[in-house]
């Protein structure tokens, strides 16, 4: 009971926090691109849009930082056994994330915010690129730690029975990290593009500030199209890596109970999600596709859940080593199917750009506004696929989740903190959504007024920036 509640609490805070992380990384890069365009062309419209979308970035960062700090404390509160066991390895990248990435990002974000008309254009541009680099470094160190949990490398077990770090380089070249990090950065850029496209499309449908938001919609689409194409390839390679190091995760993602060669991918399935109902029930099987996704070959073999369960019991002892198959199965399909729809939307937008008819295509603009929901669904599905698929392990092959929680923390304690977090996060979510929507709809005029005020105050006090 206590362990399950601790898992629910960490899952709740992690999913909520991960709503903001991709937006921060993606928008920081796109804002840097907009300011680079202003620096190179001296077109004041790019400066207006840099300030506008920079404000949305700042709102997102303000809430995201608060929710991220909670997770660091949860390791000590609810997972003390885990922290003692792997602190010698897991703590190193977390410390580097705080000391290097977080301070780099926050320092230069402050310089960028208050540096309008005080720093030179070149230095101010360097600040926003430093923010973008800092946000990506933050993700890098977090993914290094998480990837070690998926595939432990560069460590040894000391005399006290705890894991200690022996090779930092091994963490950085861990295949699950290399491909997982690329996957997260691309997903973040897709998220940022769809946020920028949605806001731009809303203005274009309303026929307000048409030229300005046509520019930002064009930037979003130009970045989105190649990024989603590359992401599909990276996602496929990540599947091959996980099939090698975590075959149980991939078998569960396909609800593949018995080994196969070659293997078909089920496009849709209604049964076969438990050991009591192992019928595959593949409504729309796609021949050979699972072999391609899991092995990178046309007819590669995939070991089934039953066979892997027998192998794990022989290696690790009695127990159930099969994760929640339904979560795995639908998570990968949410990512794949929504990703395909985003690609089609991007290609449609690219075609409209070539024809110079996007601003008049009301159907495309309406769909673009609502498409902003898709990256959040895809990112959450990816998180569930990665973390739920590792169960019952908290560190693959080394420590089970059931043995990792804090023995001194009671179920009542977790109920109280979980309820407090949920209530606080509901309030934060409402505040963030209100601020993002309000500024998205009315912020450009405000940004223009503040830019004028900033210019007038260039030699005096800090500009009257409300963002």
At 390-443, the pLDDT tens digits run 999 999 988 899 888 888 888 888 898 889 888 988 888 888 888 888 887 776
% of the chain with per-residue pLDDT over 90: 42
Residue 385 near residue 331, CB atoms below 8 Å: yes
pLDDT in tens, 317-328: 999 999 999 899
CA nearest to 177, candidates 147, 136, 139, 149: 147
| Calpha distance 287→298 (Å, rounded) | 10
Which pair of tokens denotes residue 386? 């990665």
**Pairing mode, strands 285-286 and 265-266:** antiparallel
CA 303, distance to chain mean position in Å, is 29
pLDDT in tens, 157-173: 988 888 999 999 999 99
30: pLDDT strictly greater than 50: yes
Mean pLDDT in residue range 225-254: 90
Give yes or no for a cis peptide into 84 (omega within 30° of 0).
no
Looking at per-residue pLDDT, the higher value among 57 and 458 belongs to 57
pLDDT in tens, 78-95: 888 888 898 888 888 888
pLDDT at res. 448 = 64
pLDDT at res. 459 = 40
Give yes or no for a cis peptide into 392 (omega within 30° of 0).
yes
pLDDT in tens, 328-387: 999 999 999 999 999 999 999 999 999 989 888 999 999 999 999 999 999 999 999 999
């Amino acid at each position: 009971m206590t362990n399950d509640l601790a898992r629910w609490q960490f899952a709740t805070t992690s999913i909520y926090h991960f709503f903001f992380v991709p937006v921060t990384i993606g928008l920081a890069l796109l804002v840097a691109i907009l300011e680079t365009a202003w620096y190179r062309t001296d077109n004041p419209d790019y400066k207006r849009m840099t300030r506008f979308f920079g404000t949305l970035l700042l709102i997102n960062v303000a809430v995201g930082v608060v929710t991220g700090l909670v997770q660091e404390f949860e390791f000590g509160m609810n997972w003390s056994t885990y922290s003692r066991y792997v602190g010698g390895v897991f703590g190193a990248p977390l410390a580097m994330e705080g000391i290097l990435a977080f301070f780099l990002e926050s320092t230069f974000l402050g310089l960028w915010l208050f540096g309008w008309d005080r720093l030179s254009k070149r230095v101010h541009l360097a600040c926003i690129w430093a923010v973008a680099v800092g946000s990506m470094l933050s993700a890098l160190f977090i993914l290094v730690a998480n990837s070690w949990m998926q595939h432990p490398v560069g460590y040894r077990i000391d005399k006290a029975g705890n894991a200690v770090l022996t090779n930092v380089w091994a963490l950085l070249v861990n295949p699950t990290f290399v491909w997982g990090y690329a996957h997260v950065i691309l997903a973040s850029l897709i998220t940022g593009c769809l946020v920028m496209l949605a806001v731009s499309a809303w203005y274009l449908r309303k026929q307000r500030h048409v030229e300005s938001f046509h520019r930002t919609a064009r930037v979003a689409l130009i970045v989105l199209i190649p990024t989603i194409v590359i992401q599909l390839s990276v996602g496929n390679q990540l599947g091959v890596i996980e099939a090698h190091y975590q075959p149980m995760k991939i078998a569960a993602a396909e609800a593949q109970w018995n080994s196969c060669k070659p293997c078909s991918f089920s496009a849709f399935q209604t049964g076969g999600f438990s050991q009591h109902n192992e019928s595959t029930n593949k409504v729309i099987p796609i021949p050979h596709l699972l072999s391609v996704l899991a092995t990178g070959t046309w007819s590669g073999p995939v070991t089934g859940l039953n066979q892997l369960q027998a192998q794990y019991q022989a290696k690790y002892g009695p127990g159930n080593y099969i994760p929640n198959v339904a979560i795995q199965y639908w998570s990968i399909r949410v990512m794949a199917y929504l990703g395909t729809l985003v690609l089609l939307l991007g290609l449609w937008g690219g075609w409209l750009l070539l024809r110079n008819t996007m601003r008049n295509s009301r159907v495309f603009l309406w769909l673009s506004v609502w498409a902003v929901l898709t990256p959040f669904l895809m990112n959450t599905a990816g998180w569930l696929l990665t973390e739920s698929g590792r169960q019952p392990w908290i560190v693959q092959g080394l420590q089970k989740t059931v043995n990792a929680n804090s023995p001194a923390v009671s179920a009542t304690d977790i109920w109280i903190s979980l309820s407090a977090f949920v209530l606080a996060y509901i309030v934060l979510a409402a505040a963030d959504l209100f601020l993002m929507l309000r500024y998205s709809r009315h912020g450009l005029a405000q940004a223009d007024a503040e830019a004028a005020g900033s210019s007038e105050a260039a030699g005096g006090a800090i500009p009257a920036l409300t963002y």
